[in-house]
Amino acid sequence: MTSGCILLTLIGVGIYGLLRGSADDAEHEAHPTTAATTAPTRPDPIASPRRIAATSDPERFVHSVARSLFDWDTRAPDDPAGWAQNLVDVAVADEAVGVATDVRAYLPNSTVWKQLQTYGTRQHLDIDSVEVPDAWITARAQAPADQLSKTAVAYTVTGTAHRDGTWNREPVESSRPVSFTVFIDCPPDEPCQLLRLSRPDAALQ
C-alpha cells in the first residue's frame, strides 16, 4: 500500500458544494444554479466521460484528473458512476476503493443528478494553477522511511467551476472558485496513477 496513514491524515475533512454547495443542490434542486445570469447558446452534450490519457508527466496527469473530475454533462447518457469510472480506472490498485469514495464527494448524487437532468445542467473547470503545496513538502520530510512511496507527490489545483443549464426556458450560468489536492504516484518510465483526492475545497496549502 503506497499511501498509508499520512495520506489519510493529509486528505483531512472538508465541506463541498458543486458551485454553491451540495446542500444548495438539495435545497434548490428545482434550479440548475443560483445567482444565475443569461448564458450563450449551448453546444451539443459531451459524448462520454473524459478518458484520462496515460502519461508519465505529473502535471499533465493532474490536469487530466482535474478536468475529468469536474467536467460533466447531465445531457449525456452516463450517470454519476459512469463519470467517476475513468478516475477509478487510473487509481493505484490498493487505493481504488478510496478513490471511488473521494470522487463521489465531487459529483451530485443520483437523485440530484436526475433533477439536474431536467434542466440540462453541465459543468466544466477552468484551471488557474497546479502547484506542489508546502504542506506536502513538510509531510514528506517528516514521513518515516517506507511509509510513503518515493515517487508519490501531491498537487493542489485552484480554478473556477462553471455550471450552466436552462431555467424557465432561459439559458443560465454561474461559477465559483474551487481548490483541491490530487495525490498521485509517478514511478520512472511508467504512467502516473491516482492515489487519493482531498476533500473538496479542503486543499493542502
In the prediction, which pLDDT does 143 show?
84
Is the domain spanning 4-34+54-197 CATH 3.10.450? The answer is: yes
Average pLDDT over residues 168-188: 95
pLDDT over 70 percentage in the chain: 77
Tens of pLDDT, residues 121-169 = 999 999 999 999 999 999 988 988 778 889 999 999 999 999 999 998 8
Tens of pLDDT, residues 52-83 = 999 999 999 999 999 999 999 999 999 999 99
Q: How confident is the model at residue 92 (pLDDT cuts 50, 70, 90)?
A: very high
- All structural domains of the chain with their residue ranges: 4-34+54-197
C-alpha distances (whole Å) from 30 to each of 80, 165, 169, 175 are 19, 12, 13, 18
Residues 6+ apart with CB under 8 A from 100: 84, 88, 91
C-alpha distances (whole Å) from 172 to each of 33, 77, 165, 178 are 8, 22, 6, 20
